[in-house]
Structure 1
Amino acid sequence: MVYYFLSMFAVMKREMLSKKTVLLFGMLACLSGKAQNLPDSVVMTVGGKAVPLSEFTFIAQKNGEADFSNSKTLNEYVELFKNFKLKVVEAEAQGMDTTEAFTQELEGYEAQLKSSYWSDKTGEEEAVKAVYDRGNELLEFSYILIRMPRGNVLAKDSLPAYQEAMDVYERLQKGEDIDALGKAWYEEDKGLRIVYEHVPTLPPLRAPKVLERALYELPAGQLSLPVRTSVGYYIVKMHSRKAHPGLVRASHILISFKVDSVTRSKEEALAIAEEVLQKIQAEEDFAELAKTYSNDPGSAANGGTLRAFGLGEMVQPFEQAAFALNTPGEVSGLVESRFGYHIIKLIEKLPRPSFDTEKNSLQSAMAKNEHNFELYKAFDDRMKKEHDYVFYPDAYTELAELCNELFPSDSVFYETAKDMNKPLFSLQDQGFPQSEFARFMSAPQISTKTFALDFLQEAYDLFVRAASTAAEQSVFNEKHPEYAYLMQEYRDGILLFEISNREVWTKPVKKQASLEKKWIKALNKKYPVVINWEAITKLRK
């Protein structure tokens, strides 16, 4: 990037370059380049500030634009580099490195650069793609949930719910219908411990992670064994797995059962809806009727037009009727939902959005919940491998057994475990004892899991991540010496742009070449420069 600046000044390009182009040119090449392993001597001092030889060679060679074997090319580069540093020193003298805008831009780049090191972008994309691919099928199923006690639940306290779930599973295996059993049991229990639901459509990321995994592995027509989540045990019957039908764009008119604070009778709403439908059938304008009659505040003013939607996003009667329409302009009959009566007009049917379209929203959703372990698994696994992670299951089992009597975040758990010093795992031959993990779990908000063993597992995964991150930080500069040069280069690039923009680039194009020449001459007089030609000469050997 900087060599690009220097070359630009040498040939005196006449066109104004955009700031983004100037600062970001060659960034990808920067990330893949390697700093030369040269002595950290000084190549020059500019205005009393030393410039390391290693910085000089890194910038020169990362894009392969400076030929150190050619004396003429090397000397030209030295002159350009010197002038570049003179401009940076002048920008610093004018306080351009102290402005809020400068700080924000540099911090933004630093966050972007760090992200390229502290992540596995390929692994993240593969994890997001796996979730996207699940969405190619829409699942229809019924489930019965036997709740565990509310609040924090110890391992032993889950056994009654598990036994009850196994009893339900065995009854269903013998031929009882899950929907009939679930409805009857739910009504008898009044929803206190038993939950039943028929789910017509389930997109990805809508269920607890362990349940979602079990659902997508369950063939159509099959019954699952009890699946434990933090809230209880699910028994699932998979009714069907259907291909994603795409999206629908539609307009609708809602005649609701309640308008503001006034509740209509079903008969009153039906009479108005039938009147509106007759007007539509008489070819009155649908959009104008929506503006006049619809009680949907989100769409009435737009003629009833809704955003494109897929199955599982609207109330079931509405979406079933919308997806049943086939021809653009086709209008449904009256469709009753819990909100009132709908009249739906099909605008168009669309394919499922592409992975590139959905990627960012899926990744954002994964990062905010328990699916973040899937999202960052590739990076976590790489850190474990690079730092020689070894797991000791017997030590973990001892802590898991404590979960029969104590919840991991309780102070009593820590008091019990603080003298347990078997290593749970090691990184680079450094052991991490049970007591240290127990102290880690005693911190607030480590996990939101309410089942003791789930809390223990999630906390352990976070503890290992924190330890491997610390191990990586301890060797980061040694592993990535180019990082400091990239930050210095970008910092100087911002200053170079700002000072050049002020002194030359905003002036008339015809005058820029002469202004540049005068400016360089003035800077050479203003700031003393000492060049270490002995060190530079060695570069040619």
Structure 2
Amino acid sequence: MKKYLLLSLVFFVNFSVFSQKKEKLIVIESEDVKKEISKYEFERIYKKNNDKDKIEDVKSLEEYLELFINFKLKVTEAEEMGLDTLSKFKKELAGYRRQLSKPYLSDKNLDEKLLKEAYEHMKYDVNASHILIKIDEMADYKDTLKAYKKLMKIRKRILKGEDFAKLAKIISEDPSAKKSGGNLGYFTAFQMIYDFEKVAYNLSENEVSYPVRTKFGYHLIKLHKKRKARGKVKVAHIMLGLKSKATKKEIDSTKALVFDIYSRLKKGGDFSKLAEKYSTDKSSSKKGGELQFFGVGRMVKEFENAAFSLKKDGDISEPIKTNFGWHIIKRIKKKDIEKYEVLKPELKRKVSRDSRATKSRKFIVEKLKKEYSFKFDEKKLKEFNKVLDTSIFNGNWKIDKAEKLNENLFSFADKNFSQKDFSKFLFETQSKNLKKIPIPIFIDKKFKIFMNKKVIEYEEANLENKYDEFKYLMKEYHDGMLLFDLTDKKIWTKASKDTVGLKKYV
């Protein structure tokens, strides 16, 4: 049988009575459980649900306390039933924890800066060209320097007057450069890898950047134009597709038909019906030719320019030709870039999936290393050069080769990680068909991944000890889930079988 003891019956109108976080308010006892609940926990829940710092009606506080006690008694009952030990419960709670922990594992100031920077970029479209010299992400210093110096020489030639596009066609290792001269057209935020985007947006018109490193290699970037963002547009189109090897007869008949349809539209023809009847884009023809909203860089150049040149909703373009065939476009709706606060949730999602996210993670790892007095023995890491060989690139490296490596490798806070721990990580994460690179470079890259992983794991595991807000938030989720499961088990599940029992329980 459960019983509880209320340790303080005196509540002042001011909440200063709850100043001590560990001061007990309620003790719940049963045969298997003894649970102490602090005044601080009750104060926090009360303020959160009532949005008050002061209590005008002491009676309402006492009523809320009674509800709080009943809630905690039901949670205790659920725990005694073992509902918190079920795998389904643990899995769901762990999922909530992962989501709740994210803000604590990034730097809020840097995150906000990245969001605002992305928004500023979204306000403009940029047209740029690039010359790429490919270099592997794990290339050694010698190969990296070679690529950098090569681009520096090309940059000097451009600054002396040689044509960027001509050099791109000859030198660039981007396959599309041979036709485009390296021109990427107009693009906006999130359409290029972040390091590339950042440099492009900070160039002046006709300026050529210094070599820029991305995961693809080194780039020289030339900015041609920067314009106010076009925003997004929703259109419908009637498309008459043409095969790449169409005969002259097919080409002529298709052109004749598209201009005939255009003539009908000018005389008041129904766009939706004509799209449904004639358009060869079957994914949109059933919807009257309607497409989803799109912005810069999402459609072929000719289609995009025609769509955005329409002045008002309902306007219809003349037939335009693209690589896909002929199109007639009708503007349905256009929207400009929305305000920052409106776009912020979308920006957060995009940043979390973008290479920007690694900037925040790197920053927080370095911050935590300093906080936890990170220490690293570089000599012990170099000993792996003797035991690791090229078999690691085919997934065939044997961990036995490192059996004599048992020394401490790095430490922080109260944690020590040995060479054996790193050996196990190397063994478990090896995969087949990896590109071969110098072993010291490979070890260095893998060590950084391992070290960062352990620092973040430690921080994540200790969030409850470090942040009261996180601890009590997790407690709310834990208790709320248990109450739901208890209610489901004792009421709703029974209700489907016993309506009399339901009335009795309620």
Q: What is the TM-score with the length of structure 1 in the denominator?
A: 0.67
Query: Where do residues 274-293 of structure 1 align in structure 2 (5 Å cutoff)?
Result: 274-293=259-278
2:455 matches 1:472: no
- Matched-pair contact (CA < 8 Å) for 2:271–2:288: yes
Corresponding residue to 2:169 among 178, 183, 193: 183
Corresponding residue SS for 1:299? helix
Deviation for aligned residue 1:337: 0.8
- Residues 162 and 490 of structure 1: is their aligned pair in 2 closer, same or farther, counting only changes over 3 Å? closer
Deviation for aligned residue 1:114: 3.7
Q: Distance in 1 between matches of 2:446 and 2:474?
A: 34
Corresponding residue to 2:125 among 108, 124, 138: 138
Deviations 1:240-269 (A, max 9, x none): 12221212222211111039x999843232
Higher relative contact order (CA 8 A, sep 6+): 1
Corresponding residue SS for 1:250? strand
Corresponding residue SS for 1:302? coil
- Matched-pair contact (CA < 8 Å) for 2:78–2:84: yes
- Matched-pair contact (CA < 8 Å) for 1:226–1:233: yes
Aligned to 2:218: 233
Q: Distance in 1 between matches of 2:391 and 2:179?
A: 27
Corresponding residue SS for 1:273? helix
- Matched-pair contact (CA < 8 Å) for 1:147–1:193: no
What is the root-mean-square deviation of aligned Cα atoms in Å? 5.3
- Matched-pair contact (CA < 8 Å) for 1:388–1:429: no
Aligned to 2:254: 269
Q: Which amino acid aligns with 2:311?
A: N
Aligned to 1:51: 34
Query: Where do residues 358-373 of structure 1 align in structure 2 (5 Å cutoff)?
Result: 358-368=343-353, 370-373=355-358
Query: Where do residues 274-353 of structure 1 align in structure 2 (5 Å cutoff)?
Result: 274-353=259-338
- Residues 354 and 81 of structure 1: is their aligned pair in 2 closer, same or farther, counting only changes over 3 Å? closer
Corresponding residue SS for 2:33? strand
Q: Distance in 2 between matches of 1:159 and 1:211?
A: 19
Q: Distance in 2 between matches of 1:376 and 1:325?
A: 43
- Residues 490 and 119 of structure 1: is their aligned pair in 2 closer, same or farther, counting only changes over 3 Å? same
Deviation for aligned residue 1:313: 0.9
Query: Where do residues 33-44 of structure 1 align in structure 2 (5 Å cutoff)?
Result: 36-38=21-23, 43-44=27-28
Query: Where do residues 103-252 of structure 1 align in structure 2 (5 Å cutoff)?
Result: 106-115=93-102, 117-120=104-107, 123-148=110-135, 153-158=139-144, 160-183=146-169, 196-252=181-237
- Matched-pair contact (CA < 8 Å) for 1:153–1:450: no
Q: Which amino acid aligns with 1:60?
A: F
Q: Which runs of 5+ in 1 are unaligned?
A: 1-5, 7-32, 507-514, 521-541
Aligned to 1:462: 449
- Residues 242 and 50 of structure 1: is their aligned pair in 2 closer, same or farther, counting only changes over 3 Å? same
Deviation for aligned residue 1:239: 0.7
Q: Distance in 1 between matches of 2:103 and 2:192?
A: 31
- Residues 315 and 107 of structure 1: is their aligned pair in 2 closer, same or farther, counting only changes over 3 Å? same
Corresponding residue SS for 1:258? coil
Aligned to 1:10: none
Deviation for aligned residue 1:301: 1.2
Q: Which amino acid aligns with 1:462?
A: I
- Matched-pair contact (CA < 8 Å) for 1:146–1:194: no
Deviations 1:433-462 (A, max 9, x none): 99977875663379x999879977865653
Q: Which amino acid aligns with 1:334?
A: P
Deviation for aligned residue 1:336: 1.0
Deviations 1:270-323 (A, max 9, x none): 122111111112221112111111111222111112222111111001111111
Q: Distance in 2 between matches of 1:34 and 1:123?
A: 33
- Matched-pair contact (CA < 8 Å) for 1:220–1:240: yes
Q: Which amino acid aligns with 1:218?
A: L
Q: Which amino acid aligns with 1:235?
A: L
Deviation for aligned residue 1:125: 4.1
- Matched-pair contact (CA < 8 Å) for 2:235–2:332: yes
Aligned to 2:9: none
Deviations 1:15-55 (A, max 9, x none): xxxxxxxxxxxxxxxxxx9982358x993413x243333x2
Aligned length: 463
Deviations 1:399-422 (A, max 9, x none): 7xx9xxx9997599x989x98999
Q: Distance in 2 between matches of 1:408 and 1:460?
A: 18
Aligned to 1:374: 359
Aligned to 1:62: 44
Q: Which amino acid aligns with 1:199?
A: L
Corresponding residue SS for 2:192? coil
Deviation for aligned residue 1:363: 3.6
Q: Distance in 1 between matches of 2:176 and 2:62?
A: 82
Q: Distance in 1 between matches of 2:151 and 2:420?
A: 35
- Matched-pair contact (CA < 8 Å) for 1:270–1:341: yes
Q: What is the TM-score with the length of structure 2 in the denominator?
A: 0.71
Corresponding residue SS for 1:376? helix
